[in-house]
């Protein structure tokens, strides 16, 4: 039996995925989390075979939760399951240690296949994501973002989506001063001077749509 920890901030969405996965005879949901902090603690408690986790959640996002889980258990098998099918997000997640990456636009069968594949210790990439990675050139705007930490990448993404600094803080459970400091580090690392340049870089990297 494959024991799964399901992580998504939407209750109705989790219910749908729970029903789908538990319809498979060899998969059971042993715990659910609605944010990254809860996912980290539940992973420590239950030691699931596979953690199926979204990226965009309140508080620490999926990438930071992934980093913390792997720091505590380097053998953890995490499948990122998200609406973000851009190469930048996928590459970042895989580099940070995710065993799989799948878009929520996939078929139900693909999710079940992904969970089984990751549980078996193999990596899994959704077809759309794999195609985008294959088509991406070796160098580009996305490579620049590799210098950002998981938390910096979350702030970068939020700012690129047009959120004000106080809104970024509310989304990620950070105080205003922390967001300002992170923004300063991001600009230094990316060699940009203002929000317009940040958004332009995010568009070029595929993080946000133009």
Instruction: State both tokens at 83.
Output: 């609406």
Domains 2-135 and 141-205 fall in the same CATH topology: no
Mean pLDDT calculated for residue range 106-116: 92
SS3 category, 5: strand
Average pLDDT over residues 1-25: 94
Q: pLDDT tens for residues 137-188?
A: 434 555 678 788 888 988 998 898 888 999 999 988 899 999 999 999 999 9
| Axis crossing angle, helix 195-205 with helix 176-190, rounded to the nearest 10 | 70
Does residue 120 register a pLDDT over 90?
Answer: yes
The pLDDT value given to residue 194:
84
* Residue 210 binned pLDDT confidence (cut-offs 50, 70, 90): low
pLDDT at 131: 63
Q: What is the CATH number of domain 141-205?
A: 1.10.10.10
Q: What is the pTM assigned to this prediction?
A: 0.70
* Domain locations in the chain as residue ranges: 2-135, 141-205
- Joined tokens for residue 167: 């809104």
Class of 2-135 per CATH?
Answer: alpha beta
The whole-number average pLDDT for the span 75-98 is: 87
């Amino acid at each position: 039996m494959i024991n799964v920890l399901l992580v998504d901030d939407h209750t109705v969405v989790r219910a749908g995925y729970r029903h789908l996965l538990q319809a498979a005879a060899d998969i059971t949901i042993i715990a659910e989390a609605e944010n990254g902090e809860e996912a980290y603690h539940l992973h420590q408690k239950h030691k699931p075979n596979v953690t199926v986790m979204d990226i965009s959640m309140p508080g620490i996002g999926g990438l930071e939760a992934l980093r913390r889980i792997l720091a505590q258990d380097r053998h953890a098998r995490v499948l990122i399951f998200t609406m973000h099918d851009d190469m930048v997000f996928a590459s970042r997640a895989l580099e940070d240690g995710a065993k799989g990456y799948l878009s929520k636009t996939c078929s139900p069968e693909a999710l079940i296949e992904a969970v089984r594949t990751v549980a078996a210790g193999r990596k899994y990439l959704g077809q759309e994501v794999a195609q985008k990675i294959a088509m991406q050139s070796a160098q580009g705007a996305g490579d620049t973002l590799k210098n950002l930490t998981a938390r910096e990448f979350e702030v970068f993404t939020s700012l690129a989506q047009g959120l004000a600094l106080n809104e970024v803080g509310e989304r990620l459970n950070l105080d205003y001063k922390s967001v300002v400091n992170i923004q300063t580090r991001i600009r230094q690392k990316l060699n940009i001077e203002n929000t317009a340049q940040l958004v332009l870089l995010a568009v070029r990297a595929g993080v946000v749509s133009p």
